[in-house]
Amino acid sequence: MQQKILIGLIVTLIIVVFIPTYWAMEPGRQEAARIRQQTEAVERGAKLYSSVCATCHGAQGEGIVGPALKGTQLDDDTLQKFIARGIPGTAMPAWGKEDGGPFHQQQIKDLATFIKNWDKVLSETPASLTSPQQTMPSTTETTATDGSKIFANRCSSCHGVNRQGTSGLAPALTPESLAALNDTTIKDTILNGRSGTAMPVFKGTLSPEEIDALLQFIKYTLP
């Protein structure tokens, strides 16, 4: 008899306390899931941004060849449209698959989410965003591989991942294409850019060692 009362009590307790508590916590759980999803989207977007957008828009979104994106007033839809379709007649390429770019819809969304939430990710994942090279192990690597990494981070968005150039944007950078330029001219081009063209100034953002490594890579290493 005692046992039955006890079981009855426990069942009542479950019905009266736990089930409402569960319901009450459900919106909180959904909110937590939403925040987690957004954080993940922001992190994915940040990685894409630092690998392909930072060369033109700046590692901090401060703008270089392209305008500043941090703190943009553009709404989410407009951002996604610009990113997916590019801005014809300017250096801003189309990134959406439908327009011949490399990214599917979700990646375009991630990029827009990241740009709209810039400060959040900066405080959480500074290393992956601001200095992609430094996250790579560097002790055992040769100069050529360092050069290839700097190239991938800083040059490939214009000169192409395989250094074959991007038509209408930037020339190839291979031993063959650079045969007519001497080392000093190449280093000077990287340091000072080419005014009146999209080739940016890297003085101040690349060290002399990094520029030497880039020279070795683009002039003396076959793609």
Judge whether 118 and 70 are in contact, CB under 8 Å: yes
Residues 6+ apart with CB under 8 A from 149: 133, 136
Give least dist CB 99 to ligand HEC, A: 12
Smallest distance, ligand HEC to C-beta of residue 213, A: 10
Q: What does the block give as tokens for 90?
A: 């300017």
Please count the other Cβ atoms lying within 10 Å of the Cβ belonging to residue 144. Answer: 13
- With tokens 């959406």, the residue in question is 96
Q: Judged by CB, which is closer to ligand HEC: 12, or 197?
A: 197
* Residue 87 in contact with ligand HEC, rule: CB under 6 A: yes
Side chain identity, residue 214: L
Interaction residues for ligand HEC, span 54-83 (CB under 6 A):
55-57, 65-67, 69, 72, 74, 79, 82-83
Distance CA 81, CA 99 (A): 11
Using CB under 6 A, which residues numbered 137 to 176 contact ligand HEC? Answer: 154-155, 157-159, 170-171, 173
Q: How far apart are the first and last CA of the chain?
A: 84
Residue 92 in contact with ligand HEC, rule: CB under 6 A = yes
Q: Which residues bind ligand HEC (CB under 6 A)?
A: 52-53, 55-57, 65-67, 69, 72, 74, 79, 82-83, 87, 90-93, 95, 111, 154-155, 157-159, 170-171, 173, 177-178, 186, 189-190, 194, 197-200, 202, 214, 218
